[in-house]
Amino acid sequence: MDNGIAHGLTSSPFHRYGLRLNRPMVSALSDIRPHALETDLAMPTEGDATLEGFRSADGVLSTGTWAHAPGILHIQGDYDEVCVLLAGHVRLTASSGYTAEFKAGETFVIPKGFRGTWETIEPVRKHYVIFDPSAADR
C-alpha cells in the first residue's frame, strides 16, 4: 500500500525519521493499561534473536523490543515496520541490490513488500512497531 508516507519521501526502500512527539498520544483504547517495552532484553547467542512484545487483540498492531546477535536474516516483509535502534549496527540489502546501514540512535521504516536481507554487524537491540492490516482478516 503506497500512502505517500513511507514510499514518497525518497527513492530508497528505507527511510530515516527524526521522531518528536510534541504532545501525548490519545488512544480510543485509553482505558487499557499501558505496556512498558523492555530496554535491557538479553542479547542472544550468534545468529539468534530474542523478543519481548505486545500484539493488539486483532493482530493489526505489534510492538516490542527485539535483540539479534551478529548474523544474517532473510526478510520477506508482509507488513510495514518502524525500527528504532537502541544499540548496534545493521545493514539491510534489498533484492534490487540497494544497501543501507543503520546504527544505534537511528529510526527507519522497512516498507511492506521489502525483500532482502538484514545483516547484524554489531549486536542489535531495537524497539519496533509493526502495522499489518491484513492480520485482522486472518
Task: Please state whether beta strands 99-103 and 71-76 pair in parallel, antiparallel, or not at all (unpaired).
Answer: unpaired
What pTM value is reported for the model? 0.70
What pLDDT, on the 0 to 100 scale, is given for residue 23? 34
- Short-list 78, 97, 92, CA closest to 126: 92
> What is the pLDDT at residue 119?
95
Fold for the domain defined by 64-138: Jelly Rolls (2.60.120)
How many CB atoms lie under 10 A from the CB of residue 63? 16
What are the residue boundaries of the structural domains of the chain, listed by start? 64-138
Give bridge partners of residue 82 from the DSSP assignment. Answer: 109, 129
- Cα–Cα distance for residue pair 112/101, rounded to 1 Å: 19
Is 54 within 8 Å of 66 (Cβ atoms)?
Answer: no
What is the reported pLDDT for 30? 45
What pLDDT, in 10s, does the model give residues 98-114? 999 999 999 999 999 99
